Amino acid sequence: MIPAAGAAGECTGGDCLPVHFYSSSRNTVTSVVGYVRKTRGRVLNYSENMQEFFQKDAGVRIYLHIPFCVRKCLYCDFLSMPQGEETRERYVNALLCEIMHQGDCPPGTPVETIFFGGGTPSILEERQLDAILDALHERFCVPRDAEISLEMNPGTADSEKLRAMREMGINRLSIGVQAMHDGELKLLGRIHTVEEAREAFQLARKAGFENINIDLMSALPGQTFRDWSDTLAEAVGWGPEHISAYSLIIEPGTPFSAMYESGDLPPVPEEETDRQMYRFTGEYLAGKGYRQYEISNYAKPGRACRHNTGYWTGQEYLGFGIGAASCAGGMRFSNTRDLQEYVRAMAIPDILAVRTDLHRLTEREKMEEFMFLGLRMTAGVSRTAFASRFGKQIEDVYGEVLQKQIRQGVIIPTEDGVRLTQRGVDVSNYVLADYLL
Amino acid sequence: MIFTGIYENHIMKKEITQDKIRNFCIVAHIDHGKSTLADRMIEKTGLLTSREMQDQVLDNMDLERERGITIKSQAVRLVYTARDGEEYIFNLIDTPGHVDFNYEVSRSLAACDGAILVVDATQGIQAQTLANVYLALEHDLDVFPVINKIDLPSAEPEKVREEIEDVIGLDASEAPLISAKQGLGVEDVLEAVITNIPAPDGNADAPLKALIFDSLYDSYKGVIVFCRLRDGRLRRGMKVKMMATGAGAEVVEVGYFGPGQFIPCDELSAGMVGYFTASIKNIRDARVGDTVTESARPCEEALPGYKGAQPMVYCGLYPSETPRYPDLRDALEKLQLNDASLFFEPETSLALGFGFRCGFLGLLHMEVILERLEREYDLDLISTAPGVVYKVYKTDGTMMELTNPSNLPEPTAIDRMEEPIVNAEIMVTTEFIGPIMQLCQERRGRYISTDYIETTRAVLKYELPLNEIIYDFFDALKSRSRGYASFDYELKGYEESKLVKMDILVNKEPVDALSFIVHADGAYERGRKMCEKLKDEIPRQLFDVPIQAAVGGRVIARETVRQMRKDVLAKCYGGDISRKKKLLEKQKEGKKRMQTVGSVEIPKEAFMNVLKLDTQ
């Protein structure tokens, strides 16, 4: 949607701003040269919205996507691929460009959390990580108590790199251990053994990491209930601060999916077993001092991941790198998933050229997200928070759904709102779909 | 409809004399090549060049062409220059071949003086060959046979010739051997029409007496009345009257039928077939079978006409979105304008809301109407399982015709019930007699006779309850005879029967739209199969859903749809909320295709699919 051209170039007062227009039909952003009078209605004013985002009191949450790995795991459908050093270097440079040319950000904007996700961010060299963090420090104000997380594959760790990472300010590691049996790791196509993962964990401790998460996967093909309980016991024995336990989903398009279809995988556990594993996880970890705070996340007191919690509680965030999603200034957008395109655009640099699916969230969408994200949290959603954010009661919007779902036993009232029941978690897709208006 | 435009070229300048007119139709078993022959005859008479010919020009509804069947009868006028050099007017009336549309065949026959019987040289006489011949003979038509598809390697024209003589008793010694597909022998057929079909009788100077054999609604011209003139003349400006309804009108246009279009002319006279318009807004004022006469000079008595179409099969039709109820009503009204045999009246279902109880000639008719509603009117429909009309004699001495099982009175108020019975003729090669007899037995058939047509083929005669054959009987017949059996039936009448209403309870709640009437002896079996079928149709819900079949409050079968155990997105990746939302939206779409009955979500197709209980 492009406004009448006649309006361009007539800046007469203080209400004029450089404006970028988003065409939903072409899914592109048009940078308009010159100045355009502020337009009411359906025009999306990217710059203005971003200013709004940065002027908020809350610190900025930053996600950085590192789309590289040593080898793609068989079950993985994330945006990640093995790439040569040269490509990685070019990508990091482009990423630095994006950080440095992120406009509209007043100097000294505080940062709340930084999260290096992937892929395998730990594949980057120390100097590359250092450069990225330097750029962030230059552009933003990163306080001491900011949570800075990095996802690490145990096969990419060495003590020197770990120490360097700790020194450059990374204070939380998320280690992709995934399984505690070598057979399972092999089946998943992981590049490491259980022993190597244990070593990586110990090296991280030695390097000074006091806040470590371990990623685990349940419901693996051929996995028995016993295999899973052993896995949990082993993980707890290492003493991490945080455990993420995901039940495996065989995603279409992955090698795993093809193997599953052709019968080349051992049978996946029955749904009943899968749910038993899930229930056991919660109970067992609770007994070991890990409190569940989200569908798949468990943490020792005070160790819940601040960055991820932000997603589920509707905090805004800014994503850098290919495929990275952002929610800022009332808008949602994602960067292009095409690495070449991204690198080309950053050479100019034209930040807006990589933005896709850019749209301003309507009040309705905000309510939907508030519900379907908030309900993933064990604490559920708060009636007070809903009312203060949207200026109306939760019952006015979702009365019927809430009543029905309470009757169905998939949600339960809390002191100030509702949360999913155990049963509700089991069928959460089915339950959460009801909150789309 | 594409009846527009003027077609001047072929209007004959010469005065048409009655003895140069032939009014006839073509009858045949389905797929024996009737429509193809009609096409070739049109082509040969030069009304259209080969280049202009579309396959099956008479079938002008998209649906007809797609399904390869003729639904609504169509008429066309051909000008044929015979071998003797004389010019003849042929009024060819195409008829549907499927058993459902017997009624349409009947009204077409009423406009004719003779019929061409097409028999497939590879298949010989089939059930509908017989049915259609008998129908034609009932209308006093002269019938002459034509043996088609002689180009096929498996053709046995001489054998078929004998069969026609032995089984039907028609002289087939002169029957043209043709291949309509290749255009072979079509001229012989045209010549045979002149010699074998009588010219119409009737007096052009007598008072107007014309039979309405079809009509069509056109939004510009109003009702277009198709008629056959017995006596008198019909011209523009004439004031006419419909003798049964008493409706009067002034004729605006008269004309005849070009291929796919109406061709206006000055006058129609005795013996001719054509149409007129008279700004008639309501199709009910020009009822098929009624007699048209001149207001100023009426004829003494009306033509006998023929019996109106009785819907044989009923089902409930509901819009899947309640607000579209008025759209459904409008669509049904529009369809009814051109299809007098379609019946509908409003009804309400606890499970499905507001809708209509609709009556059809048969299952194919129902399918065609459903498809047209969805395709031409963009409606998303839920249809309930089809049923027949039962007669319920109540203890208070009254009788009700039951078209919706939900309306069955309390058992104590019922004295007895009757169901429609049909005379069925099944033609089958002898090797399949056993399986077919078994099928008829399973369907409560009463065996009447077996007549051998030749050593390898026989006609099985059975009396069958209509409600046993309306749904999947035809499919079962085909599968048990490897496609070789053919089938035709006509209503015999009503007979007392031990009938009960089967209620289906989903999650302990009766679902009215799933109730049906069944014979008491077969109730247990049917109930069991219904439950099994529904178990497959209903997706897993948040809780166990019991499905029960009950007769008179007593549960006779039960199945359970086990609850959904797991449907969870474990990892909500990074900040990619949009992806998560897309997943939920997909889920929500799935829910939309469901009809919520009580607290259970039932897919819309399930209401129809439950009757597809394959017996083998």
CA distance A420 to A374: 10
Count how many pairs of residues, chain A against chain B, have C-beta atoms within 8 Å.
101
CA distance B270 to B18: 7
Sign of CA dihedral B34, B38, B40, B44: positive
For chain A, residues with pLDDT lower than 70 are 1-44, 57
Residue A135: left if φ>0, alpha if ψ -120 to 50, beta else—which one?
alpha
Are A383 and A371 a contacting pair, CB within 8 Å? Answer: no
- List the one residue out of B555, B554, B569, B559 whose CA is nearest residue B534: B559
What pLDDT does residue B108 have? 74
| Residue B417, SS3 per DSSP | strand
CA distance B180 to B183: 5
Distance (Å) from the alpha carbon of A406 to chain B's nearest alpha carbon: 12
End residue of a domain, out of A274, A297, A312:
A312
What pLDDT does residue B568 have? 76
In this structure, are A262 and A410 located in the same domain?
no
In this structure, are A101 and A234 located in the same domain?
yes
User: Which residue in A311, A357, A425 is closest to B575 by CB distance?
Assistant: A311
Cα distances (angstroms) measured from residue B59 to each of B43, B212, B569: 15, 21, 53
Q: What is the pLDDT of residues A149-175, one digit of tens each?
A: 999 999 998 999 999 999 999 999 999
CA distance A407 to A429: 18
Distance (Å) from the alpha carbon of B579 to chain A's nearest alpha carbon: 10
Contacts 24+ apart (CB under 8 A), B3-10: B3/B216, B3/B218, B3/B224, B3/B260, B3/B261, B3/B262, B4/B261, B4/B262, B5/B261, B6/B263, B6/B264, B7/B258, B7/B261, B7/B263, B8/B263, B10/B47, B10/B79, B10/B258, B10/B263
Q: What is the pLDDT of residues B35-80, one digit of tens each?
A: 888 888 888 876 543 444 444 455 555 545 454 444 444 678 888 8
- List the one residue out of A353, A337, A382 whose CA is nearest residue A80: A337
Distance (Å) from the alpha carbon of A69 to chain B's nearest alpha carbon: 17
CA distance B192 to B146: 10
Are B328 and B356 a contacting pair, CB within 8 Å? Answer: yes
In this structure, are A104 and A171 located in the same domain?
yes
Contacts 24+ apart (CB under 8 A), A81-87: A87/A339
Nearest CA in chain A to B587: A433
3-state secondary structure B231-263: ECEEECCCEEEECCCCCEEECCEEEEEECCEEE
What pLDDT does residue B66 have? 52
Contact A275 B576 (CB under 8 A): no
CA distance A381 to A46: 30
In this structure, are A202 and A136 located in the same domain?
yes
Interface test with chain B among A275, A427, A434, A435, by most B beta carbons within 10 Å: A427
| Residue B42, SS3 per DSSP | helix
What pLDDT does residue B436 have? 93
What are residue B263's DSSP bridge partners? Answer: B256
- List the one residue out of B268, B197, B266 whose CA is nearest residue B226: B268
In this structure, are A288 and A369 located in the same domain?
no
End residue of a domain, out of A251, A278, A312:
A312
Residue A161 within any structural domain of the chain = yes
Residue B149: left if φ>0, alpha if ψ -120 to 50, beta else—which one?
left
Residue A340 within any structural domain of the chain = no
In this structure, are A384 and A287 located in the same domain?
no
> How many residues are listed for chain B in this entry?
616
Residue A343 within any structural domain of the chain = no
What's A390's domain CATH number? 1.10.10.10
- pTM more than 0.80: no
- List the one residue out of B294, B207, B320 whose CA is nearest residue B597: B320
CB proximity list for B34: less than 8 A, separation 6 or greater: B26, B27, B28, B70, B94, B95, B97, B118
In this structure, are A245 and A383 located in the same domain?
no
End residue of a domain, out of A276, A293, A312:
A312
Nearest CA in chain A to B582: A433
Q: What is the pLDDT of residues A85-119, one digit of tens each?
A: 999 999 999 999 999 988 777 878 899 999 999 89
Residue A322 within any structural domain of the chain = no
The angle that helices A194-206 and A159-167 make with each other, rounded to 10 degrees, is: 40
Cα angle for residues B133, B138, B144 (degrees, 5° grid): 40
What pLDDT does residue A32 have? 38
Contact B577 A274 (CB under 8 A): no
User: Which residue in A78, A376, A426 is closest to B566 by CB distance?
Assistant: A426
What pLDDT does residue B391 have? 94
In this structure, are A53 and A182 located in the same domain?
yes
Q: Which domain holds residue A53?
A: 19-312
For chain B, residues with pLDDT lower than 50 are 1-14, 48-56, 63, 65, 67-73, 615-616
What pLDDT does residue A43 have? 57
What pLDDT does residue A3 have? 36
Q: Confirm whether the ipTM is greater than 0.90.
A: no
Interface test with chain B among A430, A434, A435, by most B beta carbons within 10 Å: A430
* C-alpha A57: how far from chain center: 22
Which chain A residues are Cβ-neighbours of B568 within 8 angstroms? Answer: 247, 295, 425-429
Which chain A residues are Cβ-neighbours of B507 within 8 angstroms? Answer: none
Distance (Å) from the alpha carbon of B597 to chain A's nearest alpha carbon: 14
In this structure, are A374 and A225 located in the same domain?
no
Q: How many other C-beta atoms are found inside a 10 Å radius of the C-beta of residue B378?
A: 10
What pLDDT does residue B570 have? 65
Nearest CA in chain A to B584: A433
- List the one residue out of B178, B90, B95 whose CA is nearest residue B135: B95
In this structure, are A307 and A386 located in the same domain?
no
Sign of CA dihedral A363, A368, A373, A374: positive
What pLDDT does residue A377 have? 94
Tally the domains of chain A.
2
In this structure, are A297 and A400 located in the same domain?
no
Kind and range of the H or E run holding B548: strand B545-551
Q: What is the pLDDT of residues B239-278, one digit of tens each?
A: 999 888 888 889 999 988 876 667 788 889 899 888 899 8
CA distance B212 to B275: 9
Are B240 and B249 a contacting pair, CB within 8 Å? Answer: yes
CB proximity list for A416: less than 8 A, separation 6 or greater: A382, A383, A384
What's A30's domain CATH number? 3.80.30.20
CA distance A429 to A419: 14
Residue A354 within any structural domain of the chain = no
Residue A351 within any structural domain of the chain = no
CA distance A293 to A71: 32
- List the one residue out of A249, A72, A223 whose CA is nearest residue B573: A249
Residue A328 within any structural domain of the chain = no
In this structure, are A307 and A368 located in the same domain?
no
Residue A124 within any structural domain of the chain = yes
Q: Judging by beta carbons within 10 Å of its beta carbon (0-12, 13-18, 19+), is residue A287 exposed, middle or buried?
A: exposed
